[in-house]
Each structure stands twice: as structure tokens, then as C-alpha cells.
Amino acid sequence: MKTKFIPKGVCSREIDIETENNIIKDVKFIGGCAGNTQAVAALVKNRDINEVIDTLKDIKCGFKGTSCPAQLAKGLEEMQKNAQK
């Protein structure tokens, strides 16, 4: 399944997510801190969606109430909800 998620409150403008059988196959951040977002994308590849959500959901960036990794977790949660419909 592929989806585009529009994050809020972070530098990234879009997160493209591809999953298969509850495993993350690919993540691409559009915008944001290139090194950090590429690292996050590489670290979550081939991992279980629920494990990644639990790991990333509470990460903050500076004084922001969220972060690019937390927004990825939010996008994954939204993807799961839409798949259940």
C-alpha cells in the first residue's frame, strides 16, 4: 500500500510511505533536514509498522510539539485506520 501524508508542524512538506503486510518497504520525506530524514527512512525500512509507531510517536524537535519522525508515526497510524475501512 502506498500513501502520501502531509505532516503538520515540521519542516517536511510530505511523507511518501509504502508498506506491505504491516512492514515498511520505503519512506521518502519531501523537505526537512535531508540527513536526518534520510536516516529515519533507512532505519525504519523493513520494520513492523506498530514497532515504528511506538518508537517514534513521542519524539520532539526542539521546542516544537512534534518532529518529522513523530509525523511519520502519525502517517502510519492514519494509513492503518484507512486500511481498516
Give the start-to-end residue ranges of the domains of the chain: 2-84
* pLDDT at position 9: 96
The highest-level CATH class for domain 2-84 is alpha beta
Q: Which among 43, 42, 61, 56 has a CA at the least distance from the CA of 75? A: 56
Q: Is the dihedral of CA 65, 35, 28, 24 positive or negative?
A: negative
14 φ/ψ angles, rounded to the nearest 5 degrees: -160, 150
Q: 84 falls in which pLDDT band (50, 70, 90)?
A: confident
How far apart are the C-alpha atoms of 83 and 30, rounded to whole Å? 23
Alpha helices in 1-85 (DSSP H): 34-44, 49-56, 68-84
* pLDDT at position 30: 98
For residue range 10-54, what is the model confidence (pLDDT) as tens digits?
A: 999 999 999 999 999 999 999 999 999 999 999 999 999 999 999
* pLDDT at position 4: 97
What mean pLDDT is predicted for residues 56-73?
96
